[in-house]
Structure 1
Amino acid sequence: MDNSKAYWNATLGLLGRILVVWFVVSFGAGILFAEALNNIKLGGYPLGFWFAHQGSIYIFIALIFYYGKKMGEIDRQFDVHED
């Protein structure tokens, strides 16, 4: 039973880190820090605008792949993998 608790803690730790990145990118870069980021141009557009409309989508997709990779590692570490 102790191994399942460690597995659950590792899973929740990963989810917590991913949610923090998600929050900082979506709320922080798109809303809170938009004015400061708008002083930087990316492809001719203000960076705050870019994050609010396209950049956060790229980050979210990267988070999905990161989650899949790290969960696979956690599953193998606790011997609950599928292959």
Structure 2
Amino acid sequence: MAFRNDDDKKAYWKENLSLLAKLLIVWFAVSFGAGILFVDVLDNIHFFGFKLGFWFAQQGSIYVFVALIFVYMSKMKAMDKRYGVNEE
């Protein structure tokens, strides 16, 4: 795995950190926001028989985290190909 030049290396890591920041913001918004901050508002909505705020605090944030792992994996594969550092 080698970059073509230093500019590609810097651009790759800048894009990688940007992607990580965006995904962490989504995870924070779901886990902290939906599970703690907005729980009272979300509890007025029922989801599979549970209050939505409770569901996000107990289950939803975990599901979102797992989904974000797959999003990160997909985006990184595309980024690796774009910068010529894919392992295939």
TM class, shorter-length: over 0.9
- The count of residues paired between Structure 1 and Structure 2 equals 83
Partner of 2:12: 7
State the Cα deviation string for residues 2-59 of structure 1 (Å, max 9, x = none). Answer: 1111001110111011100110011001000100000000111100000000111111
Partner of 2:22: 17
Identity across matched positions, percent: 57
For the pair shown, the structure with the greater C-alpha radius of gyration is 2
Distance 2:78 2:68 in 1: 15
Q: TM-score, normalised by structure 1?
A: 0.97
Partner of 2:63: 58
The aligned runs of 1:35-74 (5 Å cut-off) are 35-74=40-79
Unaligned segments of structure 2, at least 5 residues = 1-5
What letter is aligned with 2:87? Answer: E
Q: CA deviation at 1:60?
A: 0.7
Let me know the Cα RMSD of the aligned residues. 0.6
Flag as ranges the 4+ runs of structure 1 deviating above 2 A: none
Unaligned segments of structure 1, at least 5 residues = none
Q: TM-score, normalised by structure 2?
A: 0.92
